Amino acid sequence: MPKPLVKSGAVIDGYTIGERVHAGGMATLWTVTHPGIDVPLLMKIPRVSEGEDPAAIVSFEMEMMILPRLAGPHVPTCFGTGDFAHQAYVVIERIGGATLYKRLPELPLPYDEARQLVARIASALADLHRQNVIHHDIKPSSIMFRESGEAVLIDYGLSHHNYLPDLLQAEFRLPYGTAPYMAPERLSGVRDDPRSDLFSLGVLLYFFTTGERPFGEGETLRAMRRRLWRDPHPPRKLCPDYPPWLQEVVLRCLEIEPVWRYPTASQLAFDLTHPDQVKLTTRSERVKRDPLSVAWRRRFNLGVMAPHAKSDVAAQIASSPILAVALDTVEGAPELNEALRVTTERILATLPSARLACVNVLKLSRIAVDRTLDEQGSNKHIDRLVALRHWAMPLKLDESRLTAHVLEAVDPAAAILEFAEVNQVDHVIIGARQDSFRRTLLGSVSAKVAAEARCTVTVVRPPRMAGDAGESDAGEAPGEAPA
């Protein structure tokens, strides 16, 4: 391989090199321009000189394979790559602003600000995982934000792609990553579990809300191995005013065993977006670490180091979706609500890690002033929340898997669509009523949701009763309508 010669003014495959803007341990970043591309660009070039870590070359190979396969607002757009025979590089869009690392002097952040910040990162992770990639280096310097607000995940040299060769796994036995953020299973050679990224994000959330890292700064392998058996101090020990719901979320992310963490980044983002719906367990009350007797049992439990069964990113996500069932608690016929419950129960039976959001829309008037109390003096919002939970009781779901939401909107269909989009809902279940002249002219809520949702939609009809006239709501067909 020829010795690379990269300097300002050089031209590589049509890209003109500008200034060097960053020199990292594994690569350098240069501004570049190209006559056919009118957006700011960066060229990332690996360090390959004498004495450089060979892992830098392998990780760059991984980045060159993974980046061109990614798309969407949460990843940098890749414009080109070069091979090692001539000059290895990747060219990506230059995202304005700085990484989250720049905010470290401000720590700890206010709880609500940190919650919103990490919720956006969790949404970005959910999008990345849906593209079959586990990042494996979630930390402040790997996170940026677009002007529009979306989190962008950068640096994919340590990542794992479900359908590409894992060169780091094949060529090196030691785990590579940033020690304070590394998940325990990574120390056992596990690289195919997306919940490892959720552990790292839990470390970040702990750090940004307390000002201290849960496992300190230790970078030796011995220090890192402690997290295989020793849990961190609960945040409430450091900050007495720490919100119980937030400690519940943080400590769930930091569970030693992946199976006890959130199953998906989408479910984590959901809890961060709806803190009032977080179900509290004993995690939320703790002010001390596990007793030493528990920690020592973990340490000497040989099963901790047992071989890990191969995971599948897509299968993990598919088995843990977010479902939303849209209910009309006021006008809905009992037959339709029962049909919705039967359908929901059938779907949940095959998805033991799924979450269910029961949604009702309190329709607002376009002109009149809306009253919060009904004619009997009861609060409409509270009454509907109670009705939603009553509807869900026969499903016998664990409370951590069930939430209830009353939305207030002029347009019920638009409100349901927005809820599904914002909360990364995978499947909407909605009822369809019998015909009416008004629905024939204007279209129904379920028809609009089925037509415009960006997720799977199941439209449910009540059993046809004797004497029923008409086929269905305008524009609807039974069954699933993937949008």
Residue 30 shares a structural domain with residue 177: no
How far apart, in whole angstroms, are the C-alpha atoms of residue 430 and residue 328?
A: 9
Q: What is the rounded average pLDDT of the residues 440-453?
A: 79
Residue numbers of the domain that contains 373 = 321-480
Residue after which a domain boundary falls, among 292, 317, 342: 317
How far apart, in whole angstroms, are the C-alpha atoms of residue 232 and residue 228?
A: 11
Residue 368 shares a structural domain with residue 384: yes
Residue 1 lies in a domain: no
User: How does pLDDT run across 114-147, given as a tens digit for each residue?
Assistant: 999 999 999 999 999 999 999 999 999 999 999 9
Closest alpha carbon to 60 in 22, 26, 23, 12? 26
How far apart, in whole angstroms, are the C-alpha atoms of residue 228 and residue 251?
A: 15
Q: Name the E strands within 37-188.
A: 37-46, 78-82, 89-93, 133-134, 143-145, 151-153, 160-161
209-234 b/e with 16+ CB inside 10 Å = b?
bbebbbbeeeeeeeebebbbbbbbeb
pLDDT higher than 60, residue 368: no
**What residue type is 406 in one-letter code?**
V
Residue 148 shares a structural domain with residue 262: yes
How far apart, in whole angstroms, are the C-alpha atoms of residue 323 and residue 419?
A: 11
State whether the Cα torsion 370-376-378-383 is positive or negative: negative
Residue 269 shares a structural domain with residue 340: no
Residue 37 shares a structural domain with residue 117: no
Q: Judge contact between 199 and 229, C-beta under 8 A.
A: no
**What residue type is 279 in one-letter code?**
K
End-to-end Cα separation, the chain, in angstroms: 49
Choice between 352 and 307, residue whose per-residue pLDDT is larger: 352
Query: Residue 28 half-sphere exposure, CB side, CA atoms within 13 Å?
Result: 18
Residue 173 shares a structural domain with residue 238: yes
pLDDT higher than 90, residue 415: yes
Q: Residue 264 maps to which CATH number?
A: 1.10.510.10
- Helix (H) or strand (E) run with residue 460 in it: strand 456-460
Residue 70 lies in a domain: yes
How far apart, in whole angstroms, are the C-alpha atoms of residue 152 and residue 105?
A: 21
How far apart, in whole angstroms, are the C-alpha atoms of residue 66 and residue 165?
A: 10
Q: Judge contact between 429 and 460, C-beta under 8 A.
A: yes
Q: Which residue is listed with tokens 């029923």?
A: 468
What percent of the chain shows pLDDT beyond 90?
A: 63
Residue 125 shares a structural domain with residue 264: yes
Residue 6 lies in a domain: no
**CA 105 to chain CA centroid, nearest Å:** 26
Residue 44 lies in a domain: yes
Phi, psi of 233 (to 5 degrees): -65, 135
Write the CA distances from 186 to 126, 198, 305, 308, integer angstroms: 20, 13, 11, 11
Q: What is the rounded average pLDDT of the residues 272-285?
A: 96
**What residue type is 58 in one-letter code?**
V
Q: What is the rounded average pLDDT of the residues 153-181?
A: 87
Closest alpha carbon to 122 in 286, 311, 322? 322
Residue 264 lies in a domain: yes
Q: At what angle do helices 244-253 and 195-210 cross, to 10 degrees?
A: 140
Q: Residue 425 maps to which CATH number?
A: 3.40.50.620
pLDDT higher than 70, residue 437: no
What percent of the chain shows pLDDT beyond 70?
A: 85
Residue after which a domain boundary falls, among 285, 317, 349: 317
Please give the tally of structural domains in the chain. 3
**DSSP category for residue 237:** H
Residue 242 lies in a domain: yes
Please state the pTM of the whole predicted model.
0.88
Residue 111 shares a structural domain with residue 225: yes
Residue 35 shares a structural domain with residue 81: yes
Residue 116 lies in a domain: yes
Q: Judge contact between 137 and 25, C-beta under 8 A.
A: no
User: How does pLDDT run across 29-60, given as a tens digit for each residue?
Assistant: 999 999 989 999 999 998 876 556 677 888 89
Residue 62 lies in a domain: yes
**Which residues, 6+ apart, have CB-to-CB distance to 47 below 8 Å?**
25, 26, 27, 28, 56
Q: Where is average pLDDT lowest: 209-218, 261-270, 439-448?
A: 439-448
Residue 235 shares a structural domain with residue 138: yes
3-state secondary structure of 17: strand
Q: Residue 51 maps to which CATH number?
A: 3.30.200.20
Average pLDDT in the chain: 86
Residue after which a domain boundary falls, among 291, 317, 343: 317
Q: Which residues pair with 355 in a beta bridge?
A: 322
Residue 80 shares a structural domain with residue 108: no
Model pLDDT, residue 140: 97
Model pLDDT, residue 390: 93
Residue 202 shares a structural domain with residue 257: yes
Q: Which residue is listed with tokens 């009992």?
A: 334
